């Protein structure tokens, strides 16, 4: 019996020892790792809205004409630099000059008639004052005099109109700039109101966009915005709203806005027609942001190491939102007040004992 009891005691001791060894093997490493931790907190954030935009010249002229005629000269091409007063387009003006010659001849005749009528008017008026002319004679000469003056004034107005038309047969650059658009060539027919040439000042550019009517009331002149122009290598460059249209397009319900980049060295890199994006912060709210360095990748999953009540690392899967500089928004997986590891590195494992510094 003593032998049997001894064997049972020995067997129980082995089982207990084996169980303790298995439990200890299943526990995480007990040596702690010193890491930097933070407490998750909500911070104010602004909802950013993006508006597609275009780089335009701040000083741009779409040149057209008020006459119809054949283009006889268009000695410029797109991209040419022009000086104020340079010839851009010439339109055939033979008919207009013929009209001017006719008006000039009519003016000579009308002027002679006016001078003669004026002499008779003054003579009859003097006689009428001396009671040597009748009222009918005075009325008749007064009427003739007014008609002569009216004819002369009509011819002067017609001459001014013809001279203005002649000016529009020669289209010149209104300022120093570049030819950004050319809609017509030699031999084409120019028509009133149709654009012929666009001249832009490359030294002064703006970023133009349109905004829906439900957002225009949230914007105001002077608001700080950011501009991105990928073709110029610009990403979220600071800019400022300088103009907001008070009247929208009745068809599209869109309102025009304009922004400028005040850094002249940046403006020199821009070319009219480039695609741009204007980003504006509109609605303020609170979001949970953490340092981007706290995020770890596990295949297609993203997570962070949080700290349990027993100071152990717990890998938590999270869903990320927008990036803002060196911070990233946490949409789900972390709540305010929880602690997390800022720079986990490769030494931290699930269940690792943590000591904060």
- Listed by start position, the domains of the chain span 29-48+286-356, 67-91+170-196, 94-167, 200-284
CATH architecture of 94-167: Orthogonal Bundle (1.10)
Burial call 249-268: b when 16+ CB within 10 Å, e when fewer: eeeeebbbbbbbbeeeebbe
For residue 253, the model assigns a pLDDT of 86
| pTM of the complete model | 0.51
User: What is the CATH class of 29-48+286-356?
Assistant: mainly beta
For residue 30, the model assigns a pLDDT of 55
Q: What is the CATH number of domain 200-284?
A: 2.40.30.170
- CA–CA separation, 194 and 66 (whole Å): 9
Determine which helix (DSSP H) or strand (DSSP E) holds 19, and give its type and residue range. Answer: helix 2-26
For residue 45, the model assigns a pLDDT of 62
For residue 229, the model assigns a pLDDT of 94
User: What is the CATH class of 67-91+170-196?
Assistant: mainly beta
Kindly tell me the number of DSSP H helices and DSSP E strands found in the chain.
5, 23
Output the CA–CA distances (angstroms, integers) from residue 337 to 35, 42, 108, 321, in the order listed.
Answer: 18, 9, 97, 19
Reduce the DSSP state of residue 72 to 3 states and report it.
strand
pLDDT along the chain (357 residues), means of 10: 41 36 42 86 76 89 92 93 94 94 95 95 92 91 95 95 93 91 93 91 87 87 92 92 89 91 86 90 78 91 92 92 86 92 85 84
């Amino acid at each position: 019996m003593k032998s049997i009891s001894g064997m049972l005691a020995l067997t129980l001791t082995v089982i207990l020892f084996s169980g303790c060894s298995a439990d200890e093997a299943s526990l995480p490493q007990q040596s702690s790792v010193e890491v930097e931790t933070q407490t998750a907190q909500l911070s104010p954030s602004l909802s950013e809205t993006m508006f597609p935009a275009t780089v335009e010249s701040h000083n741009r002229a779409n040149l057209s004409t008020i006459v119809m005629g054949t283009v006889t000269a268009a000695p410029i091409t797109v991209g040419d630099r022009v000086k104020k007063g340079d010839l851009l387009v010439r339109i055939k003006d033979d008919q207009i000059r013929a009209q001017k010659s006719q008006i000039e001849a009519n003016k000579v005749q009308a002027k002679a008639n006016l001078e003669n009528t004026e002499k008779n008017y003054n003579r009859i008026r003097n006689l009428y004052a001396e009671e040597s002319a009748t009222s009918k004679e005075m009325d008749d000469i007064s009427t003739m005099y007014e008609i002569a003056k009216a004819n002369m004034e009509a011819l002067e107005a017609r001459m001014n109109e013809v001279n203005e038309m002649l000016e529009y047969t020669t289209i010149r650059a209104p300022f120093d700039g570049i030819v950004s658009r050319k809609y017509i060539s030699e031999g084409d027919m120019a028509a009133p109101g149709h654009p012929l040439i666009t001249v832009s000042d490359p030294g002064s550019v703006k970023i133009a966009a349109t905004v829906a009517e439900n957002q225009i009331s949230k914007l105001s002149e002077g608001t700080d915005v950011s501009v991105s122009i990928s073709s110029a290598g610009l990403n979220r460059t600071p800019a400022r709203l300088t103009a907001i249209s008070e009247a929208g397009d009745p068809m599209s319900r869109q309102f025009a806005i304009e922004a400028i980049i005040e850094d002249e060295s940046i403006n020199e890199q821009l070319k009219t027609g480039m695609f741009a994006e204007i980003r504006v912060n509109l609605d303020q709210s609170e979001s949970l942001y953490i340092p981007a360095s706290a995020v770890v990748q596990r295949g297609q999953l993203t997570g962070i190491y949080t700290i349990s009540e027993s100071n152990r690392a717990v890998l938590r899967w999270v869903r990320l939102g927008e990036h803002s500089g060196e911070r990233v928004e946490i949409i789900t997986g972390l709540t305010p007040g929880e602690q997390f590891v800022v720079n986990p590195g490769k030494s931290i494992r699930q269940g690792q004992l943590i000591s904060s510094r």
